[in-house]
């Protein structure tokens, strides 16, 4: 089920960090903390962007993009959100994970996040 979702906007000069405020808002709306997450599928626009988000969010890197993320799998322009959601859902099922977060940055300074619970 969808536990919560959120969007956020930032200065376009720091567009890659949009997942940070969006993820925090979605986690707060779900009543979760970063420590509650079993899996995170986060968009990787490029390596430095992914590292910045991971560092700021402070989540366990062992649960983030466990199949390699967009750098390894691909970044299908226009379908990245679908790819991220499906990858997270299938991995949650495979691992019998209960709580997952899908998040991505969007050019222009936006970020989105979705909390999923099974």
**Percent of the chain scoring above 70 in pLDDT:** 100
Burial class (CB in 10 A: 0-12, 13-18, 19+), 116: buried
Q: Assign domain 2-117 to a CATH class.
A: alpha beta
Query: Phi and psi dihedrals of 75, rounded to 5?
Result: -125, 80
Averaged pLDDT, 30-55: 94
pLDDT higher than 90, residue 2: yes
The pTM score is: 0.93
- Which residue carries 């967009």 as its tokens? 70
**pLDDT score at 15:** 81
Residue pLDDT, tens place only, 48-91: 999 999 999 999 999 999 999 888 888 787 888 999 999 999 99
Q: Which two tokens stand for residue 32?
A: 């979760």
Averaged pLDDT, 37-45: 94
Rounded to whole angstroms, the Cα distance separating 72 from 62 reads 16
**pLDDT score at 58:** 96
Rounded to whole angstroms, the Cα distance separating 118 from 114 reads 13
Q: Beta-strand (E) ranges in 27-92? A: 39-42
């Amino acid at each position: 089920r969808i536990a919560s979702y959120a969007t956020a906007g930032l200065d376009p000069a720091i567009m890659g960090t949009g997942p940070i405020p969006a993820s925090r808002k979605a986690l707060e709306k779900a009543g979760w903390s970063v420590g509650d997450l079993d899996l995170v599928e986060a968009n990787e626009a490029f390596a430095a962007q992914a590292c910045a988000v991971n560092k700021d969010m402070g989540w366990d890197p062992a649960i983030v993009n466990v199949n390699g993320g967009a750098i390894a799998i691909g970044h299908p322009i226009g379908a990245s959100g679908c790819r991220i959601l499906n990858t997270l859902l299938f991995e949650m099922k495979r691992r019998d994970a209960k709580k997952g977060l899908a998040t991505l940055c969007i050019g222009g300074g936006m970020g989105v996040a979705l909390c999923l619970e099974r």
